[in-house]
Amino acid sequence: MTYTVIANFKMNGTVGSTIEYGNELFDLLFENELYNTTIVMAPSAIHLAYLQSRLIGTRIKYGGQDLCGQAQFGSHTGNTSAEQLADLGCTYSIIGHSERRKNLGETDCIISNKLSNATLARITPILCVGEDFTENREGHTWKVIKGQLDVNLAKFDSTAKIMIAYEPIWSIGTGKIPSLQDVQNVVDHIADYMQGRGLQAELIYGGSVTGANAEELLMVKNLSGFLVGGASLKVSTFWPIIQACEAVGKQIKTQSA
Ligand code: PEP
């Protein structure tokens, strides 16, 4: 089992702090070979070029936090396209984060277009789906996520790679996480749904992941990693999550040897 851990810096950091972060992580990787974990850094778009010069050719991958759903080039002021991300060496992009859905009115249709543009540029989309607090309490979690997937994946190329991040909105930045059983139920539902549509995805979880809960969350079957916000902002809090993935990956390999 190999895991992917994505650092979503959101609108944080400066050129200096981003480069320093990359250097710190790179030093740790120099001393600690990773066998079971891929790291993906998603800083602000304006910092990607600085990371590229430091990380190109290393095993740390990087990507965007969003991309344009309308075009690859042209009159789209303020946007960054999938092709432009690919040109910088990005191989991933977060798409449909709940902060964008809620604060910027990003609809499921807009997200569907973003997924198409990502795959055209060979960027692996990290599609975020999840329910809010009320939807969760009223027992509508799967209904909400299925509704998002139905539209988000309507035009998705079945041969393309995709990651789906289950991110309960009420868990993001709150320190609250769902029970393992609840995460397992959603992961199972998404896996069945994808199989039913002839699609394949790596399924990850996001929402208040820390070094203290990562190992436990990895007990969820078919979970391939994490999308991390707050705890990714410092290497000192991000690294323990990577170590948890390494430890669990090693355990699984030993058991199956
Ligand atoms: C996120 O915003 O995608 C996220 C998972 O944030 P946090 O880890 O801070 O809950």
* Residues 115-165: tens digit of each pLDDT: 999 999 999 999 999 999 999 999 999 999 999 999 999 999 999 999 999
- Tokens read off for 147: 């509704």
Taking each helix axis from N to C end, the angle separating 180-196 and 141-152, rounded to the nearest 10 degrees, works out to 30
Query: CB of 119 closer than 6 A to ligand 1?
Result: no
In angstroms, the CA 240 to CA 238 distance is: 6
In angstroms, the CA 132 to CA 181 distance is: 18
The alpha carbon of 69 and the centre of ligand 1 are apart by a number of angstroms equal to 23
pTM (predicted TM-score): 0.97
- Closest ligand 1 atom number to CA of residue 232: 8
Query: CB of 172 closer than 6 A to ligand 1?
Result: yes
pLDDT in tens, the chain (257 residues): 899 999 999 999 999 999 999 999 989 998 999 999 999 999 999 999 998 888 877 889 999 999 999 999 999 999 999 999 999 999 999 999 999 999 999 999 999 999 999 999 999 999 999 999 999 999 999 999 999 999 999 999 999 999 999 999 999 999 999 999 999 999 999 999 999 999 999 999 999 999 999 999 999 999 999 999 999 999 999 999 999 999 999 999 898 88
In angstroms, the CA 91 to CA 20 distance is: 21
- What H or E segment, with its residue span, contains residue 110? helix 108-120
Q: Are 42 and 7 in contact (CB under 8 A)?
A: yes
Whether 97 is catalytic: yes
Whether 216 is catalytic: no
Site of tokens 């807009």 = 110
In angstroms, the CA 72 to CA 123 distance is: 12
Angstrom CA distances, 106 to 95, 101, 164, stand at 10, 4, 17
- Closest ligand 1 atom number to CA of residue 226: 5
- Tokens read off for 54: 């430091």
CA torsion sign for 219, 225, 230, 236 is: positive
Which amino acid residue places its CA nearest to atom 6 of ligand 1? 229
- Please give the sequence-ordered ranges of beta strands (E in DSSP) within the chain, or none if there are none: 3-8, 37-42, 61-64, 92-95, 124-129, 163-166, 202-206, 225-228
Site of tokens 């809960």 = 213
In angstroms, the CA 202 to CA 92 distance is: 13
For 221-233, how does the pLDDT look when each residue is reduced to its tens digit (9 = 90+)?
Answer: 999 999 999 999 9
Query: Which one from 47, 97, 135, 202 is the annotated catalytic residue?
Result: 97
Query: CB of 209 closer than 6 A to ligand 1?
Result: yes
Site of tokens 């393309």 = 160
Domains assigned to the chain:
3-256 (3.20.20.70)
Which amino acid residue places its CA nearest to atom 1 of ligand 1? 229
Which amino acid residue places its CA nearest to atom 7 of ligand 1? 229
Query: CB of 232 closer than 6 A to ligand 1?
Result: no
Angle, vertex CA 140, rays to CA 139 and CA 146, nearest 5: 145
